[in-house]
């Protein structure tokens, strides 16, 4: 169990029967008799919609721990990214909106951790460091008398 002030991005929870993942959380301390409040942006893991929610500091929230499986990225089409479990060769598709901006940095054969809630894949945990090559950049400009490399 978590208190509302302990909410952080990435925490999964269940509200009103639906699964949500915290995308942003900000704690505001109260003054005097007023208690603190946590403002959180929540992503619905079933529909992909975002909503804002306000939690009082004294509220307790049941955290849901996702199951993580390391899977290999195969390819992506217009709407879905496909991943394969390396031992069972079972393939799983995740819609691109659920993958977010990370889908641009996925490449064939890359291993990523896929989050499963109640047996369904919902998102990926992108590695904190990724090697990438700059393919194109703006032309050089003057900055403080020096040219941009």
pLDDT in tens, 16-45: 888 888 889 888 887 767 778 888 999 888
Query: 60 to each of 5, 33, 57, how far by Cα in Å?
Result: 9, 20, 8
| Continuous segment of H or E residues that includes residue 95 | strand 91-95
For the chain, give every domain's residue range: 2-64, 67-125
Q: Is the pLDDT of residue 144 over 70?
A: no
What pLDDT score does 58 carry? 77
Residue with token string 């109260």: 30
What pLDDT score does 14 carry? 85
Is residue 101 classed exposed, middle or buried when 0-12, 13-18 and 19+ CB atoms within 10 A define those classes? exposed
The model scores a pTM over 0.85: no
Q: Which two tokens stand for residue 98?
A: 């659920």
pLDDT in tens, 91-130: 988 888 777 777 788 888 888 888 888 888 888 887 777 7
Instruction: Please give the CATH architecture assigned to the domain spanning 2-64.
Output: Roll (2.30)
12-15, strands of its sheet edge to edge: 50-56, 37-44, 18-28, 12-15, 63-64
Identify the CATH class of 67-125: mainly beta
What pLDDT score does 41 carry? 93
DSSP bridge pairs for 82: 75, 93
């Amino acid at each position: 169990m978590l208190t509302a002030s302990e909410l952080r991005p990435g925490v999964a929870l269940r509200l009103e029967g639906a699964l949500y993942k915290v995308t942003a959380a900000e704690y505001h301390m109260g003054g005097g008799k007023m208690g603190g409040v946590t403002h959180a942006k929540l992503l619905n893991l079933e529909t992909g919609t975002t909503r804002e929610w306000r939690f009082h500091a004294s509220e307790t929230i049941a955290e849901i721990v996702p199951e993580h499986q390391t899977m290999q990225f195969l390819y992506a089409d217009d709407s879905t990214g496909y991943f394969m479990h390396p031992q069972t060769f079972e393939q799983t598709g995740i819609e691109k909106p659920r993958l977010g901006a990370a889908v641009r940095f996925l490449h064939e054969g890359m291993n990523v951790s896929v989050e499963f809630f109640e047996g369904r894949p919902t998102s990926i945990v992108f590695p904190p460091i990724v090697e990438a090559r700059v393919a194109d950049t703006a032309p050089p400009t003057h900055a403080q008398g020096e040219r941009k490399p």
